[in-house]
Structure 1
Amino acid sequence: MSSLFPALAARSPLPALRFGDRSLTHAELAAAAGSLAAGLADMRRVAVWATPTLETAVGVVAALLAGVPAVPLNPKTGERELAHILADSAPSLVLAEPGAELPPALSALPRTDVELTGPGAPSVPEPSSGAPGVIEPSPEAPALIVYTSGTTGPPKGAVLPRRAVTATLDALEDAWLWTADDVLVHALPLFHVHGLILGILGPLRRGGEVRHLGRFSIDGVARELESGATMLFGVPTMYHRIAEALPGDPRLAKALAGARLLVSGSAALPVHDHERIAAATGRRVIERYGMTETLMNTSVRADGEPRAGTVGLPVKGVELRLVDESDGIGEIQVRGPNLFTEYLNRPDATADAFDGDWFRTGDMASRDPDGYVRIVGRKATDLIKSGGYKIGAGEIENALLEHPAVREAAVTGEPDADLGERIVAWIVPADPSRPPAPEELSAHVAAQLAPHKRPREVRFLEALPRNDMGKIMKRALHG
């Protein structure tokens, strides 16, 4: 059995995966995934139709046991993008849950359904092997190929070696004091790093349990935390909904207060939501920072100071530096065992992504005197150069969100003949029938931060455009 998952090798009888009312122990998962892995051993790569189901988790684990790279596919991907991913990754077959309707782009690809017939159906493989005839792969062997969001062109396949997966999960064991006794609840999609690698493979590597809600709900979070879950993973959209619900939901407040760890990631959690959750529950949400290409780079530690607005310190094994720093802000570059190997079939893009052995993240940040990292935003979309100043969109967004008439906010820069770039605020008002005056919001920011950071224009929207992970798609604001 693969060294990625010691609890599977030990055939632990403890719970491993639960989706709704369906579950598997580590021993049952070893049996089901081991049996499936035996049929994958000669494959080049396998695609996984990544619905939020038990079958997806079993399919990915089976590929890892077989030593075959898995390519998780987002079921909401459009036909053109899906066709690109399939042509680029050239999988040998697609794994899917029985009955799943696959789009035409997958029609030419052989399909294998992940059949789960209940506890104990297949025999549990011996601990010394992942699947018959499979030798434990090298740490540098590809584990997964995860496609980027494609904001600057067709999605690129980040090749993640087994070394990166184990290094990140073991670094989070250290940062979050993560043990086999922890029970994680989340509702994140399973085609991405956060939901799949951290949220499924993380508990399995620790020998603990994950309970997936299928889709996010306030009731589901409260129910699972009340019934033994110790950790919650979410994205800012989820925590924002939690913060909105807390004043009228004492059950939710009590459930969150009993959690050991609340973790937010994939985008910055506004300080306003941090404070509302802390005030209602006595628990602080901690943030971490990672990317598809790097897995996890930094995190606030479970035993450290949960400082709102920061993503903590570099995790174990990761080095971080700020490059071309001015006004206290520079581009984050990282190196360590957490890094991807390459962009599949894109040697040019791979070469451009590195400065020697340092990966250029494209994210801008500052550092507190004690080393805590504060993300300003993306170099391309969140760094605004206005009137000779380098300004981070994130701090303006946090200031706007402190205004009682603002529900959501995004800040961008637009070309300006006088300033170079002017600051534009995109606002979802708390009461659409009575939006705040633009001058009032500009004055609010100027008073909280500095006059040169005030929005020069304010535009109102019914909702901000977001992707599946809850990230605001700023490029769509100017579309």
Structure 2
Amino acid sequence: MKRTTDFQSHSVSRENRPDGSILLRSNHQLSPSVERTGDWLHQWAEDAPGRVFLAERSGAGWREETYETTLAKVRAVGAALLARGMNQKTPILVMSGNSVDHGILALAAQYVGVPLVPVAEQYSLVHGAHGRLRDVIHLIKPKLAYVIDQDQFQEALNLEGLCDVEIVASRLSTRAGAGKVTKFTDLLKEDGAAGVDAAFAEVTADTVGKILMTSGSTSSPKGVLTTHRMMCVNQAQLADALPFLRKRPPIIVDWLPWNHVFGGSHNFNMMLANGGSFYIDDGKPVKGLFERTLENLHLTTGTLAFNVPLGFGMLLDALKTDEGFRRRFFQDLDLIFYAGASLPQDVWSGLEQMALSEKGEVPLMTSSWGLTETAPSAMMQQEPAPRSGIVGVPVNGVTLKLLPDEDMRCEVRIKGPSVMPGYFEDPDKTKAAFDEEGYFITGDAMVFLDAEDPNKGMRFDGRISEDFKLQSGTWVRAAQLKLDMLSALAPLAADLVVTGADRTEIGVMIFPNMSALSRAGFQTSDESGAFQCDRLQREIHRRLTERARTVSGSSARVSRAIVLSEPPSTAEGEMTAKGNLNIRKVLTRRAPLLERLYSDDDPATVRI
């Protein structure tokens, strides 16, 4: 099959150590990187001043900022921050989502050495989620906070911890008594070139550019100190793995949130590092907002496509029905990159065949692995992969320490220049995060595709903390089982939780894909928290029974299921800021439904 993009071939060395651990590293040399994100901005403002860097929707088209105008505005905002006495000890809290002004403020803060702390906008907009926002405010004690719209965020702005904090907004309220707020454009009026130059000169690779809050899917959120070195080195690692980034300025139309390391560091900095153009997609892969994504993609298509698996599934359906859109989408596409979970194989195959049909070539279809603490990418599938779910090999410059069990399932630890120095004002958690050799303890597990050939890459095999034992003592690898079940139940299940800790059988609590159920004519009839739809239960029973014939052993056999009528709650902490389920919170909050799942007499429980 012809491929349209070039790539760095896998070449790794494996060292088996006497203590049973394995060291895995790339044989390729890591390319040099700049020291500061501002160095990229200066480079492209000089080399391509008129090229679009940031754009967002404005009316029927785009509001566009070039590299030249972005640099000028970054320096002006930087001067305004310095005039307020801001420095490494006065973080800026960003409470709203992606926007051009957000991007300019982020770069300005990094330019003059002020840490930026972007948080999920749900923490401000969902009343019940304000507890998370209070926690962040209490931790970082910001001196300035930014929102895009004063009225939209007014409830959160009234929180006690923000009373003495300067608020900056792109759109001010016209309502009486709304409170004093600085308009973002006022920051652009500052003129302090000498002070800005001096502050920029003081910024080094070790300067903290951002404090990113972890998602809290397995523990309380922590503030990851993200240095310029981490961000800059990681982009060198990515460009080494994907050399086409250096050959043609990339373009993306992207919605992934900037409070999360993938959207805000991986994708944002990939455009900045390589002179690319970032068109902010104000849609999302959810009902009512995906139509906006399609509208944006009809205006501009990119050379790279990043999304979560659900988003690619929705996009595939849209591409099937619009020949012109399909042709434009694939015309210049170099990369299809999924993140957050494994891409269902039917979606993978559909995109691959569609690309082949449209242009006779297939872009590189791939994924990677990493965490907020690793900037993020630590492993990447750099070569064309035979199927979904492979995260590849270590990127240049990092070393993985693998601790295999008897089944060669490996706990992963990592060391390298793209790894964080620690957590914000938490020396105890920082110390606990690294082992005695200085490797960051990720808590994730991997398995080799081929134990004899590490160049074939590795597959993500879940969080160590999510695994559990049945009463029989049999270990259940929950993450991989979850992927298997999502595939078996597609498209009926949007997400699910695997259950069975200290029980005799494995079960699943299913969050349904409401649009798919609606299209299929399934109806709900139980107001106590679970579906009781005979047709749906029969279909789930059929699929579980069919799957049970193909698996052996109690560690993989799912014999119970219940479908939940209430979606996961962000306000109650069941859904993290980056869209992952907090499994512990779901099981705790829905304990009565968990008991119903293991009741042999409950009509909502499907049993095989």
What range describes the TM-score normalised by the shorter chain of this pair?
0.7 to 0.9
What residue number does 2:52 align with?
15
256, 259, 265: which is aligned to 2:339? 265
Contact 2:301–2:328 at 8 Å: present in 1 too? no
What residue number does 1:474 align with?
583
One-letter identity of the residue aligned with 1:375: F
Any stretches of 5+ residues in structure 1 without a counterpart?
none
One-letter identity of the residue aligned with 2:447: S
95, 107, 117: which is aligned to 1:71? 117
What residue number does 1:399 align with?
484
Q: 1:404 to 1:142 in 2, by over 3 A?
A: closer
490, 507, 510: which is aligned to 1:424? 507
Deviation of 1:143 after TM superposition, in Å, equals: 1.1
Instruction: Work out whether 1:297 is the aligned partner of 2:378.
Output: yes
Q: 1:260 to 1:414 in 2, by over 3 A?
A: same
Deviations 1:193-225 (A, max 9, x none): 111112222201211111111123356357537
Q: 1:276 to 1:153 in 2, by over 3 A?
A: same
Contact 2:252–2:301 at 8 Å: present in 1 too? no
Deviation of 1:160 after TM superposition, in Å, equals: 0.9
What residue number does 1:415 align with?
501
Q: Distance in 1 between matches of 2:197 and 2:94?
A: 19
Contact 1:399–1:448 at 8 Å: present in 2 too? no
Q: Distance in 2 between matches of 1:2 and 1:398?
A: 40
Q: Distance in 2 between matches of 1:339 and 1:464?
A: 35
What residue number does 1:234 align with?
307
424, 449, 458: which is aligned to 1:373? 458
183, 205, 219: which is aligned to 2:273? 205
One-letter identity of the residue aligned with 1:230: T
Q: Distance in 2 between matches of 1:367 and 1:464?
A: 35
Q: Distance in 2 between matches of 1:279 and 1:304?
A: 14
What residue number does 2:27 align with?
none
362, 387, 404: which is aligned to 1:307? 387
Instruction: Work out whether 1:94 is the aligned partner of 2:131.
Output: no
Q: Distance in 2 between matches of 1:37 and 1:208?
A: 23
Deviations 1:341-397 (A, max 9, x none): 11112111111111131111111221112431211212222x243455444334433
Q: 1:69 to 1:405 in 2, by over 3 A?
A: closer
What residue number does 2:213 align with?
147
141, 146, 167: which is aligned to 2:233? 167
One-letter identity of the residue aligned with 2:145: V
Q: 1:276 to 1:289 in 2, by over 3 A?
A: same
Select the structure that is richer in helix: 2
One-letter identity of the residue aligned with 2:327: K
What residue number does 1:343 align with?
423
Q: Distance in 2 between matches of 1:407 and 1:343?
A: 39
Select the structure that is richer in strand: 1
Helix, strand or coil at the partner of 1:441: helix
Helix, strand or coil at the partner of 1:267: coil
Deviation of 1:290 after TM superposition, in Å, equals: 1.7
What residue number does 2:561 align with?
458
Q: Distance in 2 between matches of 1:373 and 1:70?
A: 34
* Matched length: 471
Q: 1:122 to 1:95 in 2, by over 3 A?
A: same
What residue number does 2:6 align with?
none
What residue number does 1:80 align with?
131
One-letter identity of the residue aligned with 2:342: A
Q: 1:10 to 1:243 in 2, by over 3 A?
A: same
Deviations 1:120-146 (A, max 9, x none): 9889979xx964543242211211101
Deviation of 1:239 after TM superposition, in Å, equals: 1.7
Deviation of 1:311 after TM superposition, in Å, equals: 1.4
Deviation of 1:152 after TM superposition, in Å, equals: 4.5
What residue number does 1:47 align with?
93
288, 297, 304: which is aligned to 1:224? 297
Deviations 1:91-141 (A, max 9, x none): 2212343646341223321123466769x9889979xx9645432422112
Q: Distance in 1 between matches of 2:259 and 2:330?
A: 30
Cα root mean square deviation, aligned: 3.0
Share of identical aligned residues, percent?
22
**Which has more radius of gyration?**
2
Q: Distance in 2 between matches of 1:252 and 1:404?
A: 30
168, 174, 185: which is aligned to 1:112? 168
Q: 1:206 to 1:136 in 2, by over 3 A?
A: farther
One-letter identity of the residue aligned with 1:28: T
Q: Distance in 2 between matches of 1:250 and 1:33?
A: 41
Contact 1:400–1:444 at 8 Å: present in 2 too? no
Deviation of 1:176 after TM superposition, in Å, equals: 2.5
What residue number does 1:254 align with?
327
Contact 1:243–1:273 at 8 Å: present in 2 too? yes
Contact 1:399–1:445 at 8 Å: present in 2 too? no
Contact 1:287–1:310 at 8 Å: present in 2 too? yes
Deviation of 1:81 after TM superposition, in Å, equals: 1.7
235, 240, 261: which is aligned to 1:193? 261
Contact 1:266–1:289 at 8 Å: present in 2 too? no
Helix, strand or coil at the partner of 1:343: coil
Q: Distance in 2 between matches of 1:9 and 1:314?
A: 32
154-163 vs 20-29, which deviates more?
Answer: 154-163
Helix, strand or coil at the partner of 1:51: coil
- Greater length-normalized contact order (CA 8 Å, ≥ 6 residues apart): 2
What residue number does 2:251 align with?
183
Contact 1:289–1:299 at 8 Å: present in 2 too? yes
TM-score, normalisation: structure 1: 0.88
Instruction: Work out whether 1:60 is the aligned partner of 2:69.
Output: no
65-74 vs 265-274, which deviates more?
Answer: 265-274
Q: 1:172 to 1:359 in 2, by over 3 A?
A: same
What residue number does 2:595 align with?
none
Q: 1:444 to 1:350 in 2, by over 3 A?
A: farther
345, 348, 361: which is aligned to 2:442? 361
Deviation of 1:191 after TM superposition, in Å, equals: 1.3
Helix, strand or coil at the partner of 1:181: coil
Deviation of 1:451 after TM superposition, in Å, equals: 4.0
One-letter identity of the residue aligned with 2:143: S
260-269 vs 395-404, which deviates more?
Answer: 395-404
What residue number does 2:351 align with?
277
